[in-house]
Structure 1
Amino acid sequence: MQNHDVPCAVCLVRNRSVVKMFPARKTCYSGWKLEYRGYLMAGHFNFQGPSKYTCVDHHPDTVYGGSSDMNGKLFYFVEAVCGSLKCPPYVNGRELVCAVCSRK
């Protein structure tokens, strides 16, 4: 996926009132339906400009012809840091997963 553009996806889920991203989860809570799961990603902490945590699908698509390496907004894996997070269950330096879930 390095140097490839990723398409943006907005979940439109019929008959569901809420779509929410849950960081550090592979599954949804009871009563929620899994739409997709992946890895929590964001901009690099050393780079200027705002960044937002985003759940990137574990099997991401790329934009056709979008590999010109222009270094626009870059996504990096969010990794667990013990002390900020309780270890265990988290593992220091391991990428965090995420789940996008919906419910009525």
Structure 2
Amino acid sequence: MNMTFFSTVILICCLISLSDAGGKFNIEDNGEYGGNVEQYVWNIISPGAGFGNVPSNKCIRDKLLELLNNSSTVYTRWGRNDCPDTSDLVFTGYIAGGNGCYKGAGKNAQCMPTTPDKSDRLQSGSGSRAYLYGAEYETAGYVSAFAQVNNGDAVCAVCRARGKSTNLMIPAKRNCPSDWTKEYEGLLMGSKSTYYGSEYICVDANPEMRQSSTGNNIGFLLYPIEGKTSPLPSPYINGYELSCVVCTV
């Protein structure tokens, strides 16, 4: 469900409530609808329906609320294997991506399910291949929760936010705009400056790792991202790690 429809549902519910309460609503094109709120609403949600045969307000409202409650948006919670209370868990997995030492690697991070379905095609044989590597946190020297997961295999969860239509990751912020729901906050992470680049992802501020996985392996390595104030302007501070937040509405 897109934002236009989401906003329309809210508007329609308000109009119906206003009509039920005996309030007045000045429809701009009153020459066509004659001030009839029910007819106006019905023509929004049923284009081409024409005039007449308008269901009751309760019927329209119930249908709209059903559509609204069934809407959702899906996002990845990087660094955790669970979802916030505002969301349902779709699946858990391990973060994976390209090796920063190789230029042919993919740039985007993947949340790989913990129970993969094995392919029955091209299982072996000659020919060129692309490679996907598991991710590790590279957070040595930190005093926060990230210090506890250094060199650990990074996990992830795919989450479905109920009753929402849009999700957004905002770098350098810890809180969401008004009217948005905060799903989680964290630390912006990506590849090391001397490696080939990767996607920036928002890793949860309380990260988890795969149990007993602190071996130092070279794969898809996640480093905290620092701001550089040339040319990133004030109030950014040179050398400070960048926070992030994931929001839904």
TM-score by length of 1: 0.89
List alignment gaps of at least 5 residues for structure 1.
none
CA distance in 1, matches of 2:209, 2:190: 17
CA distance in 1, matches of 2:158, 2:190: 17
Q: Which has the higher contact order (CA 8 A, sep 6+)?
A: 1
| 2:190 counterpart of 1:42 | yes
Give aligned pairs, total: 101
CA distance in 1, matches of 2:216, 2:230: 36
Residue aligning to 2:160: 12
Residue aligning to 2:243: 97
Does the aligned pair in 2 maintain the 1:26–1:37 contact within 8 Å?
A: yes
User: Once the 2 structures are TM-superposed, how far is the Cα of residue 21 of structure 1 from its aligned partner?
Assistant: 0.6
CA distance in 1, matches of 2:208, 2:238: 28
CA distance in 2, matches of 1:58, 1:22: 14
CA distance in 2, matches of 1:84, 1:24: 16
CA distance in 1, matches of 2:166, 2:159: 10
Alignment of 1:1-104 (within 5 A): 1-48=149-196, 50-87=197-234, 89-103=235-249
Provide the aligned C-alpha RMSD in A. 1.2
User: Once the 2 structures are TM-superposed, how far is the Cα of residue 72 of structure 1 from its aligned partner?
Assistant: 1.2
List alignment gaps of at least 5 residues for structure 2.
1-148
Sequence identity (%): 39
**2:240 partner amino acid:** R
Does the aligned pair in 2 maintain the 1:5–1:66 contact within 8 Å?
A: yes
Q: Which has the larger radius of gyration?
A: 2
Higher helix share: 2
